[in-house]
Structure 1
């Protein structure tokens, strides 16, 4: 190893260690931005701010490997309690999944409190329909779709796939969705007891809204990843969601990712931070096992 290479490796190692500390603290947003500075998209085809709807927030970025052919197409939905978050903060997710050979869309969606359920779920379905329509342009398959979401985005991803209404509204056949991956999602809780109630309708009830209450029997397979050290979303959410999927006969795997918390379970999707936890490995294994060949 040359002295230049050694210095660069040392700087990257120090940087990722600092990011890990930052992602575990209140500076998570700044740490994600710093992480993105370590990520290079060189060699990938990248298109930003593509409109999947008419609203200002209805935009997505596409990351694709050059020379892709009939590759799995993945939609990533960020978290943020439905009232914050921005797709540019998750460039690391787009890059990571594109380096694995997938065509990836990283989306924005309308945020609370101005927009409440089901606006952001409908945005997810609309973004998936748009991504499906564009997939072949980037070497992706329109019938080899996967949806990945973190936290509030995991709620959006799962709700979009298990509730018969949302994909039907945008004309996406459920058979085209090969799998759904939720990272630390709040799928089954009484939002009326939390500040996140501002993301749901006034007078709304959990039985009317939570994804575990209305699972379609032909829903796609699910992978529910739980952070071992999560103090934000209780693991009972995944247990309840798993139970509902099993009752409906839907294939589901629920796994605990050791050592990570509510934030770092998503950060570990980034290639430089894969040592934080096995998020990336489990996501890729799930996609590879269920993709069309």
Structure 2
């Protein structure tokens, strides 16, 4: 029996409407992903939940892996929410989608602001990378074929955790361990002092001290920066600045603007039932396939 999800046209359209409506509640305390998560099922996948990667109550990760995986690429996904909201439970659709693509996928939660300001959530991302790399073989993954991706604030975390070698080094992750980074609608280069999200950063801090585009190391891995053409939450200049910083350091980077999607639907399009919204999922898969460690025959 095929594991492909078969949904009726009305349900697909309803999910599309839901996803479009998510833009109205972006980065709020609501959890509109619930309906989307209910529309996907993990039957046939191996799923382990609430694995602890650190000491905080939110240092938990769920792992979705293909059946009989052997030497599969390993992907860590970091959720968004202005560093103040969100969790792994709202992103079951990401774990399911990437596991169906053949990847061992970790979906993590992290410490939230304002109680935990930068760099706490970046340190959590690096700690989760360490845990996932060390546990990869348990799930059929290749620890040397490690990727990290995130949406919105999670894209900031993913990029900063890798381009700034401080965080991998402090977490005990080999600097060259990550094969690639995928940022989805990330705020990599902005003056947080002008926005409500300033509560996620140090008081009296400056963009020069915290923004990923200021921290790029020359030996960082390839990056894919996905931009929503209709994003009215994160300005596209963020990706332009990040791309320029990576290129200046000699780091391979591709910046792709996806048509039709907004700040929320660019992430919703990772879900297999919602790929008609945009090309996010296929862009991610293509990037991972280009940069993964080749499997031996």
Q: 1:13 Cα deviation (Å)?
A: 2.5
Runs of 4+ residues over 3 Å off in structure 1: 27-31
Counterpart residue number, 1:131: 132
Looking at structure 2, the residues matched to 18 and 151 of structure 1 have their Cα atoms a distance apart, in angstroms, of 21
Is the 2:126–2:161 Cα contact (8 Å) retained in structure 1?
yes
Q: 1:38 to 1:200 in 2, by over 3 A?
A: same
Offset from partner CA, 1:29-75 (integer Å, 9 cap, x none): 54311000000000000011100011101001000001000000000
Counterpart residue number, 2:208: 207
Is the 2:12–2:274 Cα contact (8 Å) retained in structure 1?
no
Is 1:273 the counterpart of 2:271? The answer is no
Looking at structure 1, the residues matched to 13 and 177 of structure 2 have their Cα atoms a distance apart, in angstroms, of 42
Q: 1:8 Cα deviation (Å)?
A: 5.7
Counterpart residue number, 2:35: 34
Offset from partner CA, 1:84-141 (integer Å, 9 cap, x none): 0011100000000000000000000000000000000000000000011111000001
Which range is displaced more, 129-138 or 165-174? 165-174
Counterpart residue number, 1:96: 97
How many correspondences in the alignment? 287
Looking at structure 2, the residues matched to 10 and 180 of structure 1 have their Cα atoms a distance apart, in angstroms, of 34
TM-score, length of structure 1 as denominator length: 0.95
Offset from partner CA, 1:204-251 (integer Å, 9 cap, x none): 111111111121111010000110000111000000000000010000
Q: 1:62 to 1:173 in 2, by over 3 A?
A: same
Looking at structure 1, the residues matched to 221 and 141 of structure 2 have their Cα atoms a distance apart, in angstroms, of 19
Is the 1:174–1:220 Cα contact (8 Å) retained in structure 2?
no
Q: 1:68 to 1:241 in 2, by over 3 A?
A: same
Counterpart residue number, 1:80: 81
Looking at structure 2, the residues matched to 64 and 220 of structure 1 have their Cα atoms a distance apart, in angstroms, of 24
Is 1:187 the counterpart of 2:188? The answer is yes
Q: 1:8 to 1:165 in 2, by over 3 A?
A: closer
Looking at structure 2, the residues matched to 114 and 93 of structure 1 have their Cα atoms a distance apart, in angstroms, of 27
Is 1:25 the counterpart of 2:30? The answer is no
Q: 1:174 Cα deviation (Å)?
A: 2.5
Is 1:238 the counterpart of 2:239? The answer is yes
Looking at structure 1, the residues matched to 289 and 7 of structure 2 have their Cα atoms a distance apart, in angstroms, of 32
Looking at structure 1, the residues matched to 97 and 32 of structure 2 have their Cα atoms a distance apart, in angstroms, of 17
Give matches, 1:154-173, under 5 Å: 154-173=155-174
Offset from partner CA, 1:252-284 (integer Å, 9 cap, x none): 000101000001110000000000000001010
Unpaired runs of 5+ in structure 2? 1-5
Offset from partner CA, 1:137-167 (integer Å, 9 cap, x none): 0000111000011000000000000001000
